Chain A
Amino acid sequence: MAVRETPGFRTALAAAVAGGLLLAGPAAPGVTKAAAAASSTGTSSGKTLRVAMDGSGVDTLNPFTSFFNGALDIFGSIYPTLTSIDDSGAPKPYLATSWTLSDDHLTWTFKLRDGLKWSDGKPLTAADAAWTLHLIMTNDVAATANGTLVAGFDTVTAPDATTLVIKTKKPKSNVTYSSIPFSGIPIVPKHIWESQVAGLKDFKNDSFPVVGYGPWILTDYKNGQYAKLDANKSFVLGAPKYDHLIEQIYKETDAAVAALKSGQLDYISGVNATEYASLQHVDGVQTAQAVGHGWVGLELNPGAKTRTGKPIGTGNPALHDPVLRRAIALSIDKKTLVTKVLNGQGQVAEGYLPPAWPQWSWQPAPGKKQSYDPVAANKLLDDAGYKRGPGGTRTDPKTGKPLNLRLGIHSDDSADAAISRYLVGWLKVVGINAKIQAMSMSALNSDLGKGNWDMLMDAWTTGPDPTYQLGIQSCSTLPKDDGTGGNTDSFFCDPAYDKLFAKQATLFDPAERAKAVGQMQEILYEADVDLMFYNATTKIAASSKVGGLITGKPNADGFYPAQQTFWSYLKATPASAGASASSSGGGSTGLWLGIAGAVIVLGAGVAVVRRRAGADDRE
């Protein structure tokens, strides 16, 4: 009566596996080859560059209301801007070939290229640029994402098709940064958008192909999946070498790395240190590091207050003391963080602005550098009366309470977790007890704005114009007494800093402006409110079949200049035509024949099992 199905099942299974392998085996290499070919050589018509979209994805394709980097990358590819940015971060021609400033520093005149056409064939003129900027100046919805970039603009006019005149209310040194790829204002076609102004908030801009002008034309976008673009072969700054660009969404960079290894992807910007190390010796993959355009650091609550000086929040009052803040600064070994947390893939940070934009870089004067020195930190605290209590924790001489400080970190950031463990140890050495509180970014932001924090891990990335980044340290960004209206980054407030902030906005000589910006960074550095730890490099991995993706020359550390996707995608060059060029269709056929074969054999195996079972039952 027993059903002896096991031997039969095993036989059938073995047959299925063997059969499947026999059939699928020959098919697999063909498919792999085809997949790799589809990656860098692509579809039936032309060559396709496949890149991993920025992890933030696309919130909306409406450039007036979009905040996410994935969308900004696309706008940089499909809409023109007045200027572009060179390797040093300085503005250079794009739509505008030249620009002049009036003697009173209030009127900018841009000369625009003649004869350009939107992708639907309509002429692209200064009127489009004037209309776009004017709309942002006068319409709240249009100002949602980029309103700050036209702050201080008085009028914008287009006297003729190739002249754009911007008049500002006060001298404004960063006008040439207002409309740059990615972080500036994209110019949109007036004839398409003027009919959308009434419903601008709800306009999705998803009629493909999207009418624009740039190196690429957006032909398709699937929410949560990919954006598909075709090359604009008549692009004025040079035709893309590829025919198509696909920005694929990867929720996990580990998966993107796997795709790169398998030849299904050509370019990833922003792999982490571990992934980068794993890719350095993989055949067919090239890697590079570009200097960082952001910083990671620690903010110390210097005493959160409103614009009128009313204290708010639950920050530990001990941190009001600059001596304590300096002692904390001296107790942190930034070099170890770069070595251990970043695997050496970055540089120790001192200045507030990152090395990606060298014109604003600042370093402390000799003898002013706050190097790791726990002995000096302890001495500072001893001299200031911070006595050690039981367990070695010091007490605040003003309140008599032990120095127990909260350390807020991002719960989803492995670097924060690693750094915080070092911090707790280093702070303990100088008698400070830090308690780690892991929170979501949103919760951290909420606490930050209310002043409910002692120490917070923070990170920022900055575009080539430092105005906004410098601005969030000014007194004017403190909240009002009712708690609203604040946009401060750390409740730092110093009138001397604010004075320099106002001054740099009126300096038109780049060297003079850089000097003022450097002085501002020095004030921040000496205040020990934003302790810069490091500037991590941007780690790039790409198929070795693609050339030209990485621009510039490496510095002494081997780091390339900051990479801009606008130029990277434009300059990317495919492998020679003979390298690989099979279509994916044949490969897929092979795969499916293999799978079909395996299914048939498996089905036969199951049938055998069932027959055996039936036979046993009949016994």
Chain B
Amino acid sequence: MSSRPALAEPQTAEAAGTQAKARTGRRPLRLPRPGYLVSKLAAAVVSFAVTLVIGFSLFNLMPADPVRTMTRGRPVSEAELLRLRVQLGLDKPVWERFLDFVNDTLHGNLGYSWEYQQSVASLTMDRLGPTLLLMGTSFAISVVLGLWLGLRSGWRAGSLFDRITSATALTLWSVPTFWLGMILLIVFSVGVGPFHGFLPTAGMSDPTLPQTGMTHYLDVAKHLILPALTMVLVVYAQYVTIMRSSIIEEIGSPYLLTARAKGLMDAAVRRKHALPNALLPSVTMIFMHLGTLISGAVTVEAIFSWPGLGDLTFAALKIPDLPLLQGTFIVFSASVIIMNLLADLAYRFLDPRVRDQ
């Protein structure tokens, strides 16, 4: 880390002194103090515990009749309904179900789905791969594209490129995801006028093709194009705007003038000096975004029938399949909390000013 001096260009005299040390590489990399780590970990654990309570309360206190909803339309007698209620544990008082829930969670047991009649863990694992593929791909493209466009736009704010980039990004950010997805589906899958659609409409693979080997991977990639494109188009604007505003804040800084005075090329000033400082707000957003990756994108998964976790959770809400909702809630919450923790720790490495506090 110490070999990346540009990460902490000084903006104050005090910070300048700190940075001078960092730039020379003489300052050894320090691990966070144990006290700091413990406090952050403790905060994460408390957050998780609070989340458990909120999650359980949220799902269990909402008015619902899972048994009648699940069996709707089927000839099920009152005796069978009663048996099902007992089997699902719905005959127990709420406090008892809460204790069971906490006990199961502490033992790593996410529960048993009423709807799918299998463990929540196995269901989650089934859907994790597709979710990470879709969200990971769209996330990576959004970050790279958004930061690149934001950097270029902010560096020359007000230019034609900036106006086009910002306007496009904000327009796409404002467009309802469902509408955009359907338009892309119609254009690229069905076709418009002389343009013939050529992309799949649903799922993540064509069942008529082999489900292994290169053909399968290419097929999955083909199915990934439209959902990932939809996600990218509605998400990348966040990175464009944050990076653009960060770079505009940095652009008049004295250290950039110094860099230019040293004779550095403009691209080098931008890339090596402005970018690292402007990147910090984006890092926060990246980690926040990372934390929500596995919760998927309900809307996009619905439009393109992508078999992800967001879709699974949404379907569970209709019953409601309480163990599945609680289980996925735990996974989603844990993901966000862990990513926030990592963001806190990463900040210490990325920004010496935080490290020295």
Distance of A35 Cα from B223 Cα, bound (Å): 13
Distance of A225 Cα from B312 Cα, bound (Å): 12
Residue in contact with B117 in the complex, picked from A60, A222, A447, A463, CB distance below 8 Å: A60
**B186 interface residue, CB < 8 Å from A?**
yes
Task: Sample 17 A-B pairs with CB under 8 A, ordered by A number.
Answer: A28-B197, A32-B191, A65-B117, A202-B118, A224-B127, A224-B311, A225-B203, A225-B305, A244-B208, A249-B203, A251-B302, A264-B202, A442-B68, A445-B68, A460-B73, A484-B85, A584-B208
**B63 interface residue, CB < 8 Å from A?**
yes
Among B176-203, those with CB < 8 Å from A are 182, 185-186, 189-191, 195-198, 200-203
Distance of A389 Cα from B104 Cα, bound (Å): 58
- By CB atoms of chain B within 10 A, which of A144, A439, A613 has the most? A144
Among B148-187, those with CB < 8 Å from A are 152, 155-156, 159-161, 182, 185-186
Q: Which residues of B contact A147 (CB under 8 A)?
A: 76-77, 79-80
B72: min CB distance to chain A, Å = 7
Which of A253-261, A312-320, A365-373 participates in binding chain B?
A253-261
With A59-B116, A224-B127 already in contact, the answer to whether A445 and B218 are too (CB < 8 A) is no
Distance of A204 Cα from B123 Cα, bound (Å): 12
- By CB atoms of chain A within 10 A, which of B80, B83, B156, B218 has the most? B80
Contact A442 B266, beta carbon cutoff 8 Å? no
**A250 interface residue, CB < 8 Å from B?**
yes
**B27 interface residue, CB < 8 Å from A?**
no
Which of A1-9, A119-127, A394-402 participates in binding chain B?
A1-9
Contact A445 B161, beta carbon cutoff 8 Å? no
Number of interface residues of A (CB under 8 A): 91
**A617 interface residue, CB < 8 Å from B?**
yes
Contact B78 A487, beta carbon cutoff 8 Å? yes
Contact A461 B73, beta carbon cutoff 8 Å? yes
**A67 interface residue, CB < 8 Å from B?**
yes
**A582 interface residue, CB < 8 Å from B?**
no
Q: Which residues of B contact A222 (CB under 8 A)?
A: 205, 207, 307
Distance of A584 Cα from B159 Cα, bound (Å): 46
User: Residue of B at shortest CB range from A462?
Assistant: B73
Question: Beta-carbon contacts of B336-352 to A below 8 Å, as 1s and 0s?
Answer: 00000000000000000
Task: Count contacts between A and B, CB distance < 8 Å.
Answer: 219
Contact B307 A69, beta carbon cutoff 8 Å? no
Among B106-137, those with CB < 8 Å from A are 115-118, 123, 126-127
**A321 interface residue, CB < 8 Å from B?**
no
**B94 interface residue, CB < 8 Å from A?**
no
B113: min CB distance to chain A, Å = 9
Contact B267 A252, beta carbon cutoff 8 Å? no
**B84 interface residue, CB < 8 Å from A?**
yes
A580: min CB distance to chain B, Å = 14
Q: Which residues of A contact B208 (CB under 8 A)?
A: 38, 42-43, 48, 244, 246, 584
Contact A67 B71, beta carbon cutoff 8 Å? yes
Contact A255 B201, beta carbon cutoff 8 Å? yes
- By CB atoms of chain B within 10 A, which of A32, A43, A591, A616 has the most? A32
Contact B185 A67, beta carbon cutoff 8 Å? no
Distance of A589 Cα from B93 Cα, bound (Å): 60
Distance of A261 Cα from B196 Cα, bound (Å): 11
**B81 interface residue, CB < 8 Å from A?**
yes
User: Residue of A at shortest CB range from B315?
Assistant: A57
Distance of A350 Cα from B293 Cα, bound (Å): 51
B261: min CB distance to chain A, Å = 13
- By CB atoms of chain B within 10 A, which of A29, A62, A254, A461 has the most? A254
Contact B318 A251, beta carbon cutoff 8 Å? no
Contact A226 B207, beta carbon cutoff 8 Å? yes
Distance of A477 Cα from B77 Cα, bound (Å): 9
Contact B305 A446, beta carbon cutoff 8 Å? no
Contact B117 A202, beta carbon cutoff 8 Å? yes
Contact B302 A62, beta carbon cutoff 8 Å? no
Q: Which residues of B contact A309 (CB under 8 A)?
A: none
B9: min CB distance to chain A, Å = 20
Q: Using a CB–CB distance below 8 Å, which chain A residues touch chain B?
A: 1-3, 5-6, 9, 24, 27-29, 31-32, 35, 38, 42-43, 48, 57, 59-60, 62, 65, 67, 69, 140, 143-149, 151, 183, 201-202, 204, 220, 222-226, 228, 244, 246, 248-252, 254-256, 258-259, 261-262, 264-265, 412, 439-443, 445-449, 460-461, 463, 467-468, 477, 484-487, 584-585, 588, 591-592, 613-614, 616-618
Contact B307 A225, beta carbon cutoff 8 Å? yes
Closest 8 CB pairs of A and B: A224-B307, A468-B75, A617-B265, A442-B64, A259-B201, A446-B65, A445-B65, A487-B78
Q: Which residues of B contact A442 (CB under 8 A)?
A: 63-66, 68-69, 318-320
With A144-B80, A255-B305 already in contact, the answer to whether A264 and B207 are too (CB < 8 A) is no
Contact B307 A445, beta carbon cutoff 8 Å? no
User: Residue of B at shortest CB range from A265?
Assistant: B201
With A442-B69, A443-B62, A446-B63 already in contact, the answer to whether A249 and B202 are too (CB < 8 A) is yes
Distance of A37 Cα from B320 Cα, bound (Å): 40
A354: min CB distance to chain B, Å = 13
Q: Which residues of B contact A220 (CB under 8 A)?
A: 207, 211
> What 20 additional pairs, Cβ within 8 angstroms, besides A2-B266, A5-B161?
A42-B208, A60-B118, A67-B71, A67-B73, A148-B76, A183-B75, A201-B117, A222-B307, A223-B123, A224-B127, A225-B305, A248-B202, A249-B203, A249-B307, A250-B201, A440-B317, A487-B77, A588-B219, A592-B218, A613-B267
Contact B204 A225, beta carbon cutoff 8 Å? yes
Q: Which residues of B contact A201 (CB under 8 A)?
A: 117
Contact B64 A151, beta carbon cutoff 8 Å? no
Among B34-71, those with CB < 8 Å from A are 62-66, 68-71
With A60-B117, A220-B207, A252-B302 already in contact, the answer to whether A145 and B74 are too (CB < 8 A) is yes
Q: Which residues of A contact B76 (CB under 8 A)?
A: 145, 147-148, 487
Contact B117 A591, beta carbon cutoff 8 Å? no
Contact A251 B303, beta carbon cutoff 8 Å? yes
**B304 interface residue, CB < 8 Å from A?**
yes
User: Residue of A at shortest CB range from B116?
Assistant: A59
B294: min CB distance to chain A, Å = 16
Contact B206 A255, beta carbon cutoff 8 Å? no
Contact A224 B312, beta carbon cutoff 8 Å? yes
Distance of A6 Cα from B165 Cα, bound (Å): 11
Residue in contact with A443 in the complex, picked from B64, B127, B191, CB distance below 8 Å: B64
**B140 interface residue, CB < 8 Å from A?**
no
Distance of A69 Cα from B75 Cα, bound (Å): 13
A471: min CB distance to chain B, Å = 8
Q: Which residues of A contact B63 (CB under 8 A)?
A: 439, 442-443, 446-447
**B250 interface residue, CB < 8 Å from A?**
no
User: Residue of A at shortest CB range from B185?
Assistant: A258
Contact B189 A148, beta carbon cutoff 8 Å? no
Contact B196 A259, beta carbon cutoff 8 Å? no
